[in-house]
A and B are shown apart, each in its own frame.
Chain A
Amino acid sequence: MSRINSAAELEDRRQKILSKRDGEKPAIAICGGTSCLALGNDRIISAFEDEIAGQSLENRIHVRVTGCLGFCQKGPIVVIYPEEICYTEVKPEDVPDIVSQTVVSKKVIDRLLFTDPDSGQRATHFNEIPFYRKQQRNLFGDNSKLDPKSIDDFLALGGYSALSKSLFELTSEQVLDEIKKADLRGRGGGGFPAGLKWETARNAPGDEKYVIVNAHEGEPGAFMDRALFTGNPHIVLEGLIIGAYAVGSHQGYIYTHHDTPQLRENINIALTQAEEYGLLGENILGSGFSFAVEVHLDIGIFVSGESSALMMAIDGKTPEPRPKYIRTSVSGIRGKPTNLNNVETWANVPRIISKGSEWYTSIGTERSKGTKLISLSGNIVNTGVMEVPLGTTLRTIVYDIGGGIPNGKKLKAVHFGGPMGGSIPESLLDTPLDFDELAHLGAPMGAGGMLVIDEDMSMVELTRYFLDFLANESCGKCVPCREGIRQMLKIVTSINQGKGREGDIELLEELSEVLAGASLCALGRTAPGPFLSTIRSFRDEYEFLIKDGDSVYRSSLKNEEVPAERAKTIE
């Protein structure tokens, strides 16, 4: 395909793509997310291909393999367009029926529909399934409508019109202003206002500036960045290019894990296609603005996702955090102003530019605007990735979307923010999903991994699990973090094994203060989080184990595992 050289040509190209597409032509979208892949959807994909070829329907039915559709618990998911009929837990044997009955004869196959376990009702369409009903999928919604390897699919959905609007209708300052007015806050963990960060980099002296997508996603239990980026790479890329324009950067980086082959492939294809179309590289869309992107693969550990460590890695230096007394927005890669944002933060940008900050700020709470991707794991009926308006209560997430706690167990707590986060007890479940409210409760939202904990799980064991994780996944450079975590882990482990002593809790509290006060980077400073939040809400569990733990330990050896680990199997 040839290069596009102006805003008008972009619209022409879009019309051309749309005119070739018949909205009424049936399309089969098969979830190709990692979780469905693990459930064997490659067999379903080939079954569809065989069946369609066998019935010589190639020209009449479009098949696309999409990114993750979120409802991983009930995968593999297949959606039939244009009716948007959603089938769950599809098996290769179901494929002939789907093609001949649903696609050709327009009949719904009842047995493949999702049945609400509570009401017994069948759901035909996406939005009738309780898991989707209370979501607002501003970012994630397009996943079922596009093949991540096709830029034309993205253009057909209006893609890159926000970029064209930014370059031709707005000054870079106006773009920045719109993001500031939208009050977009960083999705990578800190919730820092993106507009302010952009502005700092924009105003910092120097012509050479960088922008980066943080796609490291090291938080255990978090897999929404990968789901979004793999499923819709162009939405992130478009946001990055717009950000580069606002900041005044001509070189960007995508920082991601080496062991995410599907994501890497989709990113590389997206970059090549965007370049071919003139949406990336020299003189984008004929606007005079140039911007290139390089992918940086890291082989790193959890701390490699921290901003200064990540920039050291891109710089080819030892990937360890450095003190940020001078902000990276002013001095980052090669000492130049560098703006880093998370995958999801970037993905919000095109939406804000297209629909305006007023639309954006109408969603969410007073100080937390827009939607948030959450990956739900642990003791919950529906594990998966979802997107809800900020302000949704945790109760809605757990019970309405998550489907509640399996096996008739009672909910004990929900945990946010992984090893740097904290737990919120059941009694506070009506708390809204909001950066400040959660932080105030000692359970900062982090990247959006939400671990649901039932009555059987020990909070002491949970704390031990996170400390153990950090003992391996911190860098070990500074003393409070390295030695503090070593000692905290030893003490919590011994409490957990029924060998705790009087004074252990106080010693843990003292160590927490030193970690929080003296550590070099945010990992060490927030590593006491899981302990501090559980000692606040579940102190009795620690005290009980210290007093009577020996017998408890022996009987509990069987439920050692923490279900957050499911996340690690996802890509």
Chain B
Amino acid sequence: MSEIILRIDGKEVKASTEMTVLAAARSVGINIPTLCHHEKLEPYGGCRICTVEVETGGRTSLVAACLYPVQPDLVVRTRSENVDKIRKMLLELLLAHAPDSLELEQLAREYGADKNRFEKESSFCILCGLCVRYCAEIKKANVVGFVESGTRREISFIPERAARECWKCKECFPLCPTVALQAAYFLTEALAFPSPSPESESER
């Protein structure tokens, strides 16, 4: 584990070789927005909101900061016209699903994203995978997972496992950047146990 020096937004940053660009930036207080990243979880690279510009060997490319390993003499730009344009559009795409998410709204203000640019979508899950990965990696319970592919992708609870595991945990709830997870959970619970009253749950 050796130390290297790279440049982030013009600033010289010391980092150890196993760090990502995101970690190196955060270590010196440079903020890169993230949605699907979580300190305790394996990097995922799904939301791409952490996209930054890097320059190596004279070539500029766009990479996900939460995954990209630091290298000696790497030049990173966390904001640029291109980066901002991408983040704005990604936010607009996500706001079509979750227009009321506080996290998205805050970022939308920063990047000038228009929450009405795209028609509203019926599902409000943004598929960041935080609940899925937390359940799998931390709780090792695998109660919630992804189903289907492409634009039909969704999260889904396995009712039998949910009935056994979820009542004592619910640790994934606060991770959700939208209200989708709760909805999915309630749906499954409703399917698995036809009668519990929704009120008792929401008072939890």
Q: A residues touching B (Cβ–Cβ < 8 Å)?
A: 301, 303, 318, 322-323, 325-326, 470-480, 482-487, 489-490, 510-511, 513-514, 517-520
Interchain CB contact under 8 A, B148 and A476: yes
Interchain CB contact under 8 A, A514 and B63: no
Interchain CB contact under 8 A, A473 and B149: yes
Which residue of chain B has its CB nearest to the CB of A471? Answer: B151
Determine the chain B residues whose CB is within 8 A of the CB of A489 once the complex forms. Answer: 151
* Nearest-Cβ distance from residue B97 to partner chain A, whole angstroms: 8
How would residues 115 to 151 of chain B score, 1 for a CB under 8 Å from any chain A CB and 0 otherwise? 0001101000011010000000000000000101111
Interchain CB contact under 8 A, B48 and A518: yes
Does B94 count as interface, using CB distance less than 8 angstroms?
yes
* Nearest-Cβ distance from residue B142 to partner chain A, whole angstroms: 11
Determine the chain B residues whose CB is within 8 A of the CB of A510 once the complex forms. Answer: 85, 89
Interchain CB contact under 8 A, B149 and A479: no
Does B67 count as interface, using CB distance less than 8 angstroms?
yes
Does B170 count as interface, using CB distance less than 8 angstroms?
no
Interchain CB contact under 8 A, A323 and B67: yes
Interface on chain A toward B: helix, strand, loop, or mixed SS? helix
Determine the chain A residues whose CB is within 8 A of the CB of B164 once the complex forms. Answer: none
Interchain CB contact under 8 A, B94 and A474: no
Determine the chain B residues whose CB is within 8 A of the CB of A485 once the complex forms. Answer: 150-151
A-B contacts besides A473-B150, A476-B149, A477-B129, 17 pairs, CB < 8 Å: A318-B146, A472-B150, A472-B151, A476-B151, A476-B153, A477-B45, A477-B127, A479-B48, A479-B127, A480-B86, A480-B90, A484-B93, A486-B121, A487-B96, A517-B82, A518-B62, A520-B48
Does B152 count as interface, using CB distance less than 8 angstroms?
yes
Interchain CB contact under 8 A, B149 and A474: yes
CA distance A535 to B85 in the complex (A): 22
How would residues 82 to 125 of chain B score, 1 for a CB under 8 Å from any chain A CB and 0 otherwise? 10011001100110100000000000000000000011010000
What is the number of contacts between chain A and chain B, taking CB atoms within 8 Å?
Answer: 101
Given contacts A473-B150, A485-B151, A486-B151, is CB(A518)–CB(B93) below 8 Å? no
Interchain CB contact under 8 A, A478 and B150: no
Determine the chain B residues whose CB is within 8 A of the CB of A325 once the complex forms. Answer: 63, 67-69
Interchain CB contact under 8 A, A478 and B48: yes
CA distance A479 to B63 in the complex (A): 14
CA distance A473 to B148 in the complex (A): 10
CA distance A438 to B90 in the complex (A): 31
Which residue of chain B has its CB nearest to the CB of A523? Answer: B150
Determine the chain A residues whose CB is within 8 A of the CB of B150 once the complex forms. Answer: 301, 470-476, 482, 485
* Nearest-Cβ distance from residue A482 to partner chain B, whole angstroms: 6
Interchain CB contact under 8 A, B64 and A479: no
Which residue of chain B has its CB nearest to the CB of A319? Answer: B149
7 example contacts (A-B, Cβ-Cβ < 8 A) are as follows: A476-B148, A476-B153, A477-B127, A480-B86, A511-B89, A513-B85, A514-B85
Interchain CB contact under 8 A, A472 and B152: yes
CA distance A305 to B167 in the complex (A): 39
Within 8 Å by CB of B45, from A301, A487, A520, lies A520
CA distance A483 to B64 in the complex (A): 17
Does B51 count as interface, using CB distance less than 8 angstroms?
yes
Determine the chain A residues whose CB is within 8 A of the CB of B82 once the complex forms. Answer: 517
